[in-house]
C-alpha cells in the first residue's frame, strides 16, 4: 500500500503544511515454502530450481548449498532475474539440499530443494527394467511390455520320414508372457494331448509316428497385449518306396512280340526307378529296350531277353526292389529238318535216335513209325524224360524210324 499524507497547520497569522509519502512493506511469500521439494535428475542433465516470491519492496534472494552461500561454492550455476537457480550438467556430487532465502525489510521466507543426481544403469530381467541410482543404492522396478518374438531357429520346410517323430520348436519371448497357439493348414490344433500329437510347456509341437496325413503348413502364433508374431513351417512327410502287389513278377511272351514290364511303386516324394537285367543296369544305350519310369519296354523280344529283371525304387526315405522274370516262347527249331537221316542197325540189337529240337519252353515231342505214334507204353520202346531221345530195345526187321513229328 502506498499513498501521500498531508499535514496542514493554521492560525490568525497563517498556515503551513507538509506532505509525507507512505509506503507499506509486505513480507516475501514463496509458494510451497516450509517444505522440502524433492528433485531427481540424471548425470549431465540441466536442473532448474525456481524461487518465485511476492513482496514489497522486491526481495533480495540468496541461494545456499548445504547451508553455505552458493557464491562461495565451486558449483557451476547461474541465477536468473526471477531468482531461478540453474545448475548445468549436474554430476553425482551435486546431490544435496539447495535453499533459496528471500528477504526484505518486512520479513523473509525460504524454500528448500533436495536434489538427487543419479547415474541410471538398467538391465533387462525377464521383462523388467531394473534402474539403480548410484547416490542412494536405491533400486526401482518398472515392468515394461515387450512385443512377442519367436526366437526358435526353425527352417521353412522340414522333411520327415514316415513313422518317425517330428518336433517343431516355438520358443518365444515377450512381456507379459505371450499366449501361444498352433495351427495346421489354418485350423487350430487342440491343446489336449493325443496319442500322436502334443504341445509341451515350451511350445514345441511334437508328432509321433508321422503319417502322410501329417504333412502340411504348421503355424505357431504368439500374442500378448502389445503385439504378436508368427512362424510358418511346411512339413513334408517322406514315405519310403513300396512296390505294390499289382506288380506282376512273371511275364511270358512270344518271340518277336512287344513286351511292357511294369513296376508299380508308391512313394513320397516320387521314387527314382532303376532297371537292371542279370545285374547289369539298363540305360538309354541298351539296344531294343526303353525305360519310362516304372515301365520297361522291349520292342521285339528275343530269346536273349529272357532273364531276371530287377526294379529298384529309391527316394530320400528309403528304397525297395522287386525281381521280375521274363520268359520268352521260342518256336521249335530242328536243324536241317528237310533232310532225311539214314541209320543202319542190326536185327535183334538195340538202337537210339536223338531229335535235335530247340525251343523255349521245351516243346511236346512225338515220335512216329510211319504214321503210327510210338509211345513209352510199348515195352520195346524207351523215351527220355524230355522225349528227345528214343531207345528201341530190340530191332525187328520191319522197324524203322520213318519220320519225326512234333
DSSP assignment string, 109-170: EEEEEEEEEE--EEEEETTEEEEEETTTTEEEEEE--EEEEE-----SEEEEETTS-EEE--
Q: How far apart are CA 232 and CA 27, in angstroms?
A: 76
Q: The whole model's pTM is what?
A: 0.51
Q: Answer yes or no: are the C-beta atoms of 115 and 71 closer than 8 Å.
A: no
Phi-psi region of 62 (alpha: psi -120 to 50; beta: other; left: phi over 0): beta
Which of 183, 180, 178, 182 has the alpha carbon at shortest distance from 148? 178
Beta strands in 176-317 (DSSP E): 179-184, 187-188, 197-199, 205-207, 216-224, 227-243, 250-254, 259-262, 265-268, 272-277, 280-281, 289-292, 295-298, 307-315
Q: Answer yes or no: are the C-beta atoms of 200 and 226 closer than 8 Å.
A: no
| Domains of the chain and any CATH numbers | 1-135 (2.60.40.10), 147-239 (2.60.40.10), 244-331 (2.60.40.10), 334-406 (2.60.40.10)
Report helix, strand or coil for 173: strand
Strands 280-281 and 307-315: unpaired
**In angstroms, what CA-CA distances link 26 with 2, 56, 107, 247?**
11, 5, 8, 117
Q: What is the DSSP letter of 337?
A: T
C-alpha cell at 147: 512385443
User: Among all chains, which residue has been given the C-alpha cell 502340411?
Assistant: 216
Query: Residue 133, preceding bond cis, omega within 30 degrees?
Result: no
**In angstroms, how far apart are the furthest CA atoms of the chain?**
217
Which of 198, 192, 182 has the alpha carbon at shortest distance from 233? 182
Q: Could you tell me the strand order of the sheet in which 60-65 lies?
A: 36-42, 107-118, 96-104, 60-65, 68-69
User: Among all chains, which residue has been given the C-alpha cell 503210327?
Assistant: 372
Q: Answer yes or no: are the C-beta atoms of 382 and 337 closer than 8 Å.
A: no
Q: Answer yes or no: are the C-beta atoms of 118 and 78 closer than 8 Å.
A: no
Residues ≥6 apart with Cβ < 8 Å to 107: 27, 28
CA angle 198, 204, 188 (to 5 degrees): 60
Residues ≥6 apart with Cβ < 8 Å to 351: 343, 345, 391, 392, 395
Q: Answer yes or no: are the C-beta atoms of 111 and 99 closer than 8 Å.
A: yes
Report helix, strand or coil for 64: strand
Cα-flanking dihedrals φ and ψ of residue 141, to 5°? Answer: -115, 130
C-alpha cell at 294: 516304372
Q: What is the pLDDT of residue 398?
A: 55
Q: What is the pLDDT of residue 242?
A: 96
Report helix, strand or coil for 310: strand
C-alpha cell at 397: 526187321
Q: What is the pLDDT of residue 272?
A: 96
Residues ≥6 apart with Cβ < 8 Å to 39: 47, 49, 113, 114, 115, 116
- The stretches in the chain having pLDDT less than 50 are 122-141, 399-406
Q: What is the pLDDT of residue 343?
A: 77
294-310 pLDDT, tens per residue?
999 999 999 999 999 99
C-alpha cell at 188: 487350430
Amino acid at each position: 500500500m502506498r499513498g501521500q499524507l498531508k499535514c496542514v497547520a493554521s492560525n490568525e497569522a497563517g498556515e503551513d503544511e507538509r506532505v509525507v509519502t507512505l509506503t507499506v512493506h509486505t513480507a516475501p511469500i514463496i509458494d510451497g515454502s516450509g517444505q522440502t521439494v524433492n528433485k531427481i535428475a540424471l548425470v549431465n542433465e540441466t536442473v532448474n530450481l525456481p524461487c518465485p516470491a511476492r513482496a514489497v519492496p522486491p526481495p533480495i534472494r540468496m541461494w545456499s548449498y548445504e547451508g553455505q552461500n552458493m557464491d562461495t561454492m565451486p558449483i557451476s550455476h547461474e541465477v536468473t532475474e526471477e531468482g531461478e537457480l540453474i545448475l548445468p550438467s549436474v554430476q553425482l556430487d551435486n546431490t544435496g539440499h539447495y535453499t533459496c532465502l528471500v528477504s526484505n525489510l518486512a520479513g523473509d521466507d525460504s524454500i528448500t530443494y533436495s536434489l538427487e543426481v543419479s547415474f541410471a544403469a538398467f538391465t533387462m530381467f525377464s521383462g523388467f527394467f531394473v534402474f539403480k541410482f548410484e547416490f542412494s543404492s536405491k533400486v526401482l522396478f518398472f515392468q515394461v511390455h515387450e512385443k512377442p518374438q519367436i526366437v526358435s531357429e526353425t527352417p521353412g520346410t522340414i522333411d520327415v520320414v514316415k513313422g518317425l517323430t517330428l518336433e517343431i520348436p516355438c520358443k518365444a519371448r515377450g512381456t507379459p508372457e505371450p499366449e501361444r497357439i498352433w495351427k495346421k493348414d489354418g485350423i487350430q490344433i487342440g491343446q489336449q494331448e493325443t496319442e500322436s500329437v502334443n504341445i509341451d510347456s515350451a511350445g514345441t509341437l511334437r508328432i509321433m509316428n508321422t503319417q502322410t496325413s501329417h504333412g502340411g503348413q504348421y503355424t505357431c502364433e504368439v500374442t500378448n497385449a502389445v503385439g504378436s508374431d508368427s512362424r510358418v513351417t511346411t512339413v513334408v512327410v517322406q514315405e519310403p518306396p513300396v512296390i505294390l502287389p499289382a506288380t506282376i513278377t512273371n511275364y511270358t511272351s512270344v518271340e518277336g512280340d512287344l513286351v511292357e514290364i511294369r513296376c508299380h511303386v508308391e512313394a513320397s516324394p516320387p521314387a527314382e526307378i532303376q532297371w537292371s537285367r542279370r545285374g547289369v543296369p539298363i540305360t538309354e544305350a541298351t539296344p531294343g529296350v526303353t525305360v519310362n519310369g516304372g515301365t520297361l519296354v522291349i520292342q521285339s523280344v528275343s530269346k536273349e531277353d529272357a532273364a531276371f529283371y530287377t526294379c529298384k525304387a529309391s527316394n530320400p526315405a528309403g528304397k525297395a526292389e522287386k525281381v521280375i522274370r521274363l520268359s520268352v516262347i521260342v518256336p521249335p527249331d530242328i536243324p536241317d529238318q528237310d533232310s532225311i537221316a539214314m541209320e543202319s542197325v542190326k536185327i535183334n540189337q538195340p538202337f537210339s535216335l536223338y531229335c535235335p529240337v530247340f525251343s523255349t519252353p521245351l516243346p511236346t515231342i512225338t515220335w512216329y513209325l510211319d504214321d503210327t505214334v510210338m509211345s513209352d507204353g510199348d515195352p520195346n520202346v524207351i523215351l527220355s524224360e524230355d522225349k528227345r531221345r528214343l531207345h528201341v530195345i530190340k530191332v525187328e526187321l520191319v522197324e524203322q524210324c520213318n519220320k519225326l513229328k512234333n
